[in-house]
Structure 1
Amino acid sequence: MVKNKPVIIKCEATPAILITFECAGQKVPAKLQENLVLSDPVTDIKTLQSSIKVFREEVEEYYGNDGYGCVCYAWNTVPGESDPQSRESNRGLVEIAYLKKRFQRVPMSQTVELQSTISLQCLPPEGKPLPEVFWLKDGKMIEVWKEINFIISSEGNLIINQARLEDTGNYTCGAQNPASRRFSESAVLTVFVNGAWSTWSEWTDCSAKCGKGTQRRTRTCTNPAPLNGGKSCTGEAVNRIACTSLCSVDGLWSPWSSWSTCSPDCIHHRRRSCENPAPANGGEYCLGNDLASANCTGGMCRASRVEDGENIPMYIGLCVAVAVFITVIVLIVIFMRRRKARSQGVFSRECLSTGELTSLILFQVTIFLVFLSELMSMQPDLTVVTVQHALPVDSPNNNHMMDKQPLYDVPDINAHHRLSGTLPKNSKMMLVEPTINHNLSSSLEHLSVCDNKNSLLLPSTVDADGVTWSTFDSCGGRLVLPESGVSLLIPEGAIKEGHVEEIYLAICRDDKDRPRLNDNQTILSPLLLIGPPSVVLMKPVILSFQHCASMRQGGWILSLYNSDSPIDEPPYWKKMVTLGHETINTPVYTQLDPNQCHIMGEYLQRYAIIGESVPGARAIKILRLAAFAPAAPPAMDYSIRVYVVEDTHDGLEGVIQMEKKLGGRLLDKPKQIPFQDCGNNLCLSIEELSPGWRSKLAANYQEIPFRHIWSGNQNNLHCSFSVESIDRIQSNVSCKIQVYQKAVPNNRQVIRISSNIKEVSETLFFFRNHAPSSLSFPQKYTLIILPPHIRHQLCLLLDPPNARGNDWRMLAQALTVDRYIIFFATKPSPTENILDLWEARHREETAVTDLMNILRVMGRMDAASVLEKDMGSWL
C-alpha cells in the first residue's frame, strides 16, 4: 500500500452468483463492492468479478498481531437460503509500502587507472518491498543489458569491467519500490592514464667527424601521454653515449725506387707504393701509376737480336743435357755387357755392333726428348699467389683461457667422465647443450597407475622423480611433492558427487619444456603440470609452489603463463594474465605471497610464473648456489661443480637428482645470492687453495653471461673448477669459491670447501638414504582443517552482504586475498572459495586460532563462536 493511494483487492469466481469480502475479521458492506460480470466469447462461461478498496487509515488503525488480511467468499446460492454453498480464497495480507531516505552505503569518488576494474559500492535504504537498485551516469540511466562493460551485482554495487576514458563522469545510485524512488549523492569517477615512453629513436651520427664525440637518441612520453593526473614517465628522455669517428687518411706515394738494370729488350723499370701514408678509414688512394718504364739505350736495340738472344741460352742447355745423357747411357750399357760376360766365365773383347749401339742410343734419346718436352710444357702460372701458413713450433698451452670462452657447462649424463673423471691434460671445458635422457628401466611414456580398475597414462616429458598422483572423489584431498615444495589442494566438492577421478601433479625439468623468453623476461617458478585436462571440476582447485622473485625490492611485472598443449607434444606457452591487470573474465586467481604462489582455477594444464622489471627499475631474483664433487675422486685431480639455480625447493631438487645420477656429493650448505636485472655477468673465483694443490686453469676466475641466467633456456647451469695435486702426501683439499655479480658489490656469497679425498670414498653419498620418490609412493593428504558443517555455517553467516561490510569481503581483506576480489564475487559462495584458499596457504598448528581471532576483530562474534563451540571435538 502506497501513501494516499488505496489498495484495490480483486476476486474472481466461476461459477458464482455472489462474492463477499471479510477484512481484519469484519465483513465488508456490499455497497463498498464493485461487481462486474465477464463472459468468455468462446465458451460463453460467465465469471463474476468483485473488488474493494482498502485505505491506509484502515490498515494503520488495525492492531492485530497477524496483520491486516482480507479473504473473499464465492457463493453459488444466496446466503441465508437453505444449504448455501461457498468457497473461500487464500488470505491476502495488506501492508504499508515505504522506502527510507538514507542510503546504507553510498558510492565514493574514485580515481582509477585506464583498463582497471572498478567497483562503486551502494547499499540502498531500507524499504518494503525490497527496493530495486539502478545507476545513473551524468543523470542518464545506465542500461546494463546493453552496456556489457557494466555489471550491477546482487547487493547493488556497480562493477565496471575495464575502465575507459569515456567512463569518466558522475555516478548516482538509485533505489525504487512502489512507495518511492531515492537517489544517493553523486560520486565522481576519474579515469587517468599513466604516461609511457615511446620507443627510442635511432642513434644520431657521431657529433665529431674526426675523433671523440657523442651520439644521442630520444623518446617521448606519448605512448600514451599522461592524462587526468596520471603519472609522467620516469627516466631520461634523452640518452647519450660516447663515440669515436675514425679520421680518414688520404694515401700518399713513397719516393721512387732506383732504376732496375737494363733488360734484354733495352727497358728498365722503377716502382713506388701508396704507403706514405697508406689510405685508411675511407681515405682516397694515391692518384697515378706505381710502375714507370723507360728505354735505357736511347733506342739503339734491334728486335731480331732480342728474339735470337732469348733462345740462345735454352739451345745451349738442351745440347749439353742431350750429350751428357747419351754418354751416361753408353757407359752403362758397356758396363753391363762386360759384367754379363764375366758371369759366364768367358772373356771376350768383342764390342757391341754398330747397329745395336745405334739403336740403343736412339731409343734412349727418344725417351729423353719426350720427357724433356713434357717438362718444358709444364710452365708455372705466375699469376697465382700461394700463401703458406707457418705452423707453430710449440703446441698451444690449453691451460690458458681463450678470450670470451665460457668455462661453465651443463652436465651431460651421456658423458659422465666429463664431470666426475679426470680431464685430459690439454682438454678445455666449454659450454655444451646436451639433451638429457633419463634412462629409466620403465619409461614414463608407458607407465600407468592401476587403482580400482582405473588407469592413468602419465606424460612422457616428466622426470620420474618429479611426479605424483592419486584417486579422488567428492571429498577432495591433497597431492604433495614435498622435496619440490609443490602441492595441489582439491577442495571438497571439486569432484562431482558419485564420480572418481585420477589426478597427477608433475614437475617439468626438461630444457625442451622451458618457454622461449625475450631478453627482459625470466622464469621465477618451477614449470608445473597438473592433469589430465579431461577432468571436469565443479569448483576451483589450488596449486601451491615457490617462486624466487625478491618482493622486498619490488620492481616486478609478474605474469602467469599457461600451456594447454597435449601432454605428448612440446608445450606452447602463452600469457594468461598479468598480475594486477585481471578483469572479470580472468578465469584464475593468483595469490602471490613473499615466497609462495597459489593459483586458484578450474583448468588442469601447465603453469609457470614469468617476470620482468618495471621500466626504469632493476628487479632482483634470488638464486641458490650449490657445490658438488665426485664421491670418489681420483688420487691426483679434484673436480668442483658450482650450480646456479632458482632459489626454490624444486630448483635444488633438480640438481640433487642430477648429481644422484653422476655420483656426486654436496660440499657445503647451499647459499642464496641476489641477482639483479642490470645486465652484468655472474663471476666465480676460486681462492685460498690449500698447499699441495693448484688449479688446472691458468686463471682462477670464470663468468656466466647475464642472459644465460636471466632469460636462458637451460636448467642446472654450473661452473667447473679442476684442481690437481702437486704433493701426494697432502690428502686434504680446502678452498673458498667467491661468487658475485659484476658492478653489484653487495650481491656477494662465499662457498667454503674442505674435504679429505682419502675419506671421501668411505663416505656415503648423501643421497643414498634419500626418501623414496613420489613415483613409487604417491602421497595423498586428506586432512581438511575445517569440517564440512563448520564451513557450511560460516558460509551462511558471511556470504550475505551487510551494511557494516564485515562480511566475506572484510574476511578477504583480513586474509590479504582481496587483490582480485571480483573472482570471489562471481562464485556462488565467496566465503567457501576464500576458505579453500586459506586452507592451501595456512598449514600451521595455530591456523584455526588465528582465523577465530580475525573473525573477532571483524566484529563477527557469531562466526567466531561457530569455531569456538566445536573446537574441542575437531581441532
Structure 2
Amino acid sequence: MQPDLTVSRTYSGPICLQDPIDKELMTESSLFNPLTDIKVKVQSSFMVSLGVTERSEYHGKAHSGTFPHDSNRTFNPIHAKNKAAYLQNLSSLTKRSDMRTTGVFGHLGGRLGIPNTGVSLLIPHGAFSEEASWEIYLAINQSEPSLQLEGSEILLGPEVTCGPPEVTVSTPFALTIPHCAEVNPDHWTIHLKKKKEQGKWEEVMSVEEETTSCYCLLDPYACHILLDSFGTYALVGEPLSDCSVKELKVAVFGCMSCNSLDYSLRVYCVDNTPWAFQEVILDEKHQGGRLLEEPKLLHFKGSTFSLQISVLDIPPFLWRIKPFTACQEVPFSRVWRSNQQPLHCAFSLERYTPSTTQLSCKICVRQVKGHEQILHIQTSILENERDTITFFAHDDSHFPAQMGPQAFKIPYSIRQRICATFDTPSAKGKDWQMLAQKNSINRNLTYFATQRSPSAVILDLWEARHQHDGDLDSLACALEEIGRTQAHISALAETQTEESHFSYSRQNGL
C-alpha cells in the first residue's frame, strides 16, 4: 500500500501529537516526547508520533559518545596472551589485504564491510558492554575452499570469516553474504555451515528451517544472517532438480597484445556476486584489460548441459579471428562449480592494418538447450577514446567501516520509539509480529520471540538489508500501513460497539 500523498503536510520544528491515536501512543512510553530539530514530511499521525516518515531529513545533533567517548573505556584488540595468535590468524585469512578489513567497535556498534564484494557485518547498538571495545575483523577466504562439499552441493558465495571468535555479544549481529542462486525453495535447499576449531565444518541450519539458534533471510542476491558467535561461515546450495538455476555474470574485457595488430578478447562467466566480479576486475587490471560492455546475467540450469561462447559478426576485411577459435565450449561441471577460479575464454583477433581503430562484434554466451545472452561490442581499441563503464551499482570502496550512529539509517531515538511501541503486545494487533510482517519477515518468528527486544532485532535485520538505501522509504511505508490497519481496526471496533448499544436500546424499548 502506497502512502496517501494527497494528505501529506510538511512540518519544521518539534513534532506534536494531534489525534486520539497519538495520545494513546504518548501514554505508552516516555520516549514519545516531541523531537526538536527535525524537518520531516508527514504521512500520518501514527508516523508523526514515531518520527519516521517518507524521505525524512534529520538535522538533530549526533549522539555524544561516538567511539571512543571517554578515557576510561577498556580497549580490547584481544587479550595480550592471544595477540600473536590473533595477528597470525588475521594474516592467514586471505592472501590480499583488499579482501579483509578491521574496525574498532564499542557499545554504540557500527558497520564493517569489504568494499565492492557484498560482504558486510552489522554490529548493533548495545552488542558490546559500555566498558569495553573490540577490534573486529572481516575477511574473505582467497585460498582453496576448506569446505568439503558432499554429493551435488556447491558453494553459492564466498567463505567469510568474522572475529575474533572468542568475543561475545549480548544481542545478535548481522552478517551479509552474497549468493548466486535463483531463489526458489522447490529447486534449492540452502544450508548455512560453520567451520569448527578442528577445521571441520558443521551445518548450522537450513535457510527454511525453524530454529532459535540463528536466523537467515534470503534475499534475491544476498543472505542476511543473525548470529550470536563469530567464526567462518559459508552458504551451500543443494539442487533439488534440473530446474535449479545458478546466476552467472557475463562480462567482456579487451586489451592490445604485444603485437600492435593483435587484440585480445576475454569473456568471463562468473557467479553473480560482487565478490566474484571483483576478482575478475583485479585480475584484468593487472593485464591491462578494459570492460567493453555492461555485464549481463545468464541463468545457468543444473541440467548438465555445457556452456558455449562464440564471437560473431566480425567486420570482414578489417578484422579476422584465429582459425578454430570462434566458438569455445566449457563443460557443465566446470561452470557449475566455478566459484573459486574465474571462468573465462580468450579470443585473439587481428587487424589487417594499423589504421583500423574501431571494433564491432557480438559475443554470444548460451547454455546448450538453455538461456542465451548476446553482448554487442562497439568500442575503440585506443585507450584515450574508450568510454568508461561503471563496474558496480553501489561503489562502497570509500566506506569500509563506520562506527557509532552514522553507521545506521534509523536514528537511535526513533529506533527506541519504534521498539517501545511494538515490543509491548496490543489488543489492536500493534506488536512486533506485525512489524515483521510488514517488512517481509514471515517465517521462523519464534527466533524473534526469544529475543529481549524482538523489534530491535527486526530493525537490525532491516538495517542489514537496506545498507545501500539513501532514505527510510520502505520502513516509513511499513509503518504507514500499520497505522492505517490500526485505525481501521479501531473504527470497526467503535462501529460494533455502537451497533451493540443500538440493539440493546431497541430490545428495552428505549
Give the TM-score, by structure 1 length.
0.42
Indicate how the Cα distance of structure 1 residues 767 and 592 shifts in structure 2: closer, same or farther if over 3 A, else same: closer
8 A contact 1:806–1:858 mirrored in 2: no
Alignment partners' CA distance in 1, 2:390 and 2:91: 26
From 464, 467, 473, the equivalent of 1:840 is: 464
Q: Secondary structure at 2:169's aligned position in 1?
A: coil
8 A contact 1:740–1:748 mirrored in 2: yes
User: What's 1:562 paired with?
Assistant: 194
User: What's 2:308 paired with?
Assistant: 683
What is the percent sequence identity of the aligned residues?
A: 35
| 1:529-608 equivalent positions in 2, closer than 5 A | 529-551=161-183, 555-565=187-197, 572-584=200-212, 587-608=213-234
CA drift of 1:766 comes to 7.8
Alignment partners' CA distance in 2, 1:697 and 1:521: 38
| 1:76-115 equivalent positions in 2, closer than 5 A | none
Alignment partners' CA distance in 2, 1:709 and 1:823: 37
8 A contact 2:157–2:179 mirrored in 1: yes
Alignment partners' CA distance in 2, 1:731 and 1:821: 61
Indicate how the Cα distance of structure 1 residues 652 and 699 shifts in structure 2: closer, same or farther if over 3 A, else same: closer
Q: How many residues align?
A: 398
8 A contact 2:115–2:399 mirrored in 1: no
| 1:51-62 equivalent positions in 2, closer than 5 A | none
Q: Secondary structure at 2:266's aligned position in 1?
A: strand
Alignment partners' CA distance in 1, 2:450 and 2:414: 23
- Report the residue type matching 2:366 in the other structure: Y
- Report the residue type matching 1:750 in the other structure: I
More helix by share: 2
User: What's 1:698 paired with?
Assistant: 324
Q: Is 2:477 the counterpart of 1:850? A: yes
From 378, 383, 407, the equivalent of 1:760 is: 383
CA drift of 1:514 comes to 5.8
CA drift of 1:789 comes to 4.2
Indicate how the Cα distance of structure 1 residues 598 and 858 shifts in structure 2: closer, same or farther if over 3 A, else same: farther
Deviation per CA, 1:126-145, whole angstroms, max 9, x where unpaired?
xxxxxxxxxxxxxxxxxxxx
Q: Secondary structure at 1:530's aligned position in 2?
A: strand
| 1:852-867 equivalent positions in 2, closer than 5 A | 852-859=479-486
Deviation per CA, 1:666-709, whole angstroms, max 9, x where unpaired?
12111111111101011111111122332224242111111112
CA drift of 1:618 comes to 1.2
CA drift of 1:493 comes to 0.7
Q: Is 2:397 the counterpart of 1:780? A: no
After superposition, the CA RMSD in angstroms is 3.2
Deviation per CA, 1:121-168, whole angstroms, max 9, x where unpaired?
xxxxxxxxxxxxxxxxxxxxxxxxxxxxxxxxxxxxxxxxxxxxxxxx
8 A contact 1:561–1:573 mirrored in 2: yes
CA drift of 1:540 comes to 0.5
| 1:6-25 equivalent positions in 2, closer than 5 A | none
From 270, 284, 292, the equivalent of 1:659 is: 284
Alignment partners' CA distance in 1, 2:389 and 2:243: 38
Indicate how the Cα distance of structure 1 residues 851 and 667 shifts in structure 2: closer, same or farther if over 3 A, else same: same
Alignment partners' CA distance in 1, 2:485 and 2:180: 33
Q: Which has the higher contact order (CA 8 A, sep 6+)?
A: 2
Name the larger-Rg structure.
1
| 1:427-466 equivalent positions in 2, closer than 5 A | 454=77, 457=87, 458-462=90-94, 463-466=96-99
Deviation per CA, 1:420-458, whole angstroms, max 9, x where unpaired?
xxxxxxxxxxxxxxxxxxxxxxxxxxxxxxx97958732
8 A contact 2:154–2:237 mirrored in 1: yes
8 A contact 1:472–1:502 mirrored in 2: yes
CA drift of 1:645 comes to 0.8
8 A contact 2:191–2:207 mirrored in 1: yes
8 A contact 1:553–1:619 mirrored in 2: no
User: What's 1:57 paired with?
Assistant: none
- Report the residue type matching 2:401 in the other structure: Q
CA drift of 1:582 comes to 2.9
Alignment partners' CA distance in 2, 1:772 and 1:454: 29
CA drift of 1:825 comes to 1.3
Indicate how the Cα distance of structure 1 residues 755 and 799 shifts in structure 2: closer, same or farther if over 3 A, else same: closer
Deviation per CA, 1:581-637, whole angstroms, max 9, x where unpaired?
2334xx2100112233210011112222221222x4511121101111225653132
Alignment partners' CA distance in 1, 2:487 and 2:222: 29
Deviation per CA, 1:765-791, whole angstroms, max 9, x where unpaired?
9899xx9996x9853153234444444
| 1:617-696 equivalent positions in 2, closer than 5 A | 618-630=243-255, 634-691=259-316, 692-696=318-322
8 A contact 1:467–1:504 mirrored in 2: yes
CA drift of 1:521 comes to 2.2
- Report the residue type matching 1:780 in the other structure: Q
Indicate how the Cα distance of structure 1 residues 733 and 762 shifts in structure 2: closer, same or farther if over 3 A, else same: closer
Q: Secondary structure at 1:471's aligned position in 2?
A: strand
8 A contact 1:697–1:722 mirrored in 2: no
- Report the residue type matching 1:827 in the other structure: Q
CA drift of 1:501 comes to 0.5
Indicate how the Cα distance of structure 1 residues 553 and 666 shifts in structure 2: closer, same or farther if over 3 A, else same: farther
User: What's 2:235 paired with?
Assistant: 609
From 350, 357, 365, the equivalent of 1:739 is: 365
8 A contact 2:428–2:486 mirrored in 1: no
CA drift of 1:475 comes to 0.6
Alignment partners' CA distance in 2, 1:655 and 1:531: 27
CA drift of 1:656 comes to 0.7
Q: Is 2:142 the counterpart of 1:509? A: yes
Q: Is 2:351 the counterpart of 1:725? A: yes
User: What's 1:486 paired with?
Assistant: 119
- Report the residue type matching 1:833 in the other structure: V
8 A contact 1:475–1:492 mirrored in 2: yes
Indicate how the Cα distance of structure 1 residues 453 and 823 shifts in structure 2: closer, same or farther if over 3 A, else same: closer
Indicate how the Cα distance of structure 1 residues 602 and 860 shifts in structure 2: closer, same or farther if over 3 A, else same: farther
| 1:39-78 equivalent positions in 2, closer than 5 A | none
Deviation per CA, 1:213-272, whole angstroms, max 9, x where unpaired?
xxxxxxxxxxxxxxxxxxxxxxxxxxxxxxxxxxxxxxxxxxxxxxxxxxxxxxxxxxxx
Indicate how the Cα distance of structure 1 residues 778 and 728 shifts in structure 2: closer, same or farther if over 3 A, else same: closer
8 A contact 1:519–1:707 mirrored in 2: no
8 A contact 1:521–1:711 mirrored in 2: no
Alignment partners' CA distance in 2, 1:619 and 1:669: 26
Alignment partners' CA distance in 1, 2:137 and 2:345: 35
Indicate how the Cα distance of structure 1 residues 601 and 777 shifts in structure 2: closer, same or farther if over 3 A, else same: closer
From 524, 546, 556, the equivalent of 2:156 is: 524
Deviation per CA, 1:274-303, whole angstroms, max 9, x where unpaired?
xxxxxxxxxxxxxxxxxxxxxxxxxxxxxx
Unpaired runs of 5+ in structure 2? 1-73, 79-85, 489-510
User: What's 1:824 paired with?
Assistant: 448
Indicate how the Cα distance of structure 1 residues 860 and 659 shifts in structure 2: closer, same or farther if over 3 A, else same: farther
Q: Secondary structure at 1:537's aligned position in 2?
A: strand
Indicate how the Cα distance of structure 1 residues 729 and 792 shifts in structure 2: closer, same or farther if over 3 A, else same: closer
Deviation per CA, 1:467-514, whole angstroms, max 9, x where unpaired?
22211110111113341223211111101221011112222233x136
CA drift of 1:552 comes to 6.2
CA drift of 1:712 comes to 4.6
Alignment partners' CA distance in 1, 2:434 and 2:304: 43
Deviation per CA, 1:303-346, whole angstroms, max 9, x where unpaired?
xxxxxxxxxxxxxxxxxxxxxxxxxxxxxxxxxxxxxxxxxxxx
User: What's 1:64 paired with?
Assistant: none
